[in-house]
Structure 1
Amino acid sequence: MRKLWITAAAMLISANATAGITQELSACASITDELNRLTCFDALAQTVKTQAPITPAVVATATVAAKPVSANVEEEFGNLRKAKADAIDKIYLEIASITKDPYGALKITFTNGQIWKQTDGRRYKLKVDQTVFIEKAALGSFVLGSDDRNTTIRVKRLK
Structure 2
Amino acid sequence: MKIIRLILILTITSSGFFSLQAASLNEAMQDCAEIKRDLKRLACFDQLSGRATSFVAEEMTEAQTQQVQKVNTETKAVLVTTPKTPESDFGLDTKTKAEEINIITSTIEGEFSGWRKDDEIMLANGQVWKITSGSLFHKATNPKIEIKRGVFGSYRIKVIGLNKTAQVKRIK
- TM-score, length-normalised on structure 1? 0.46
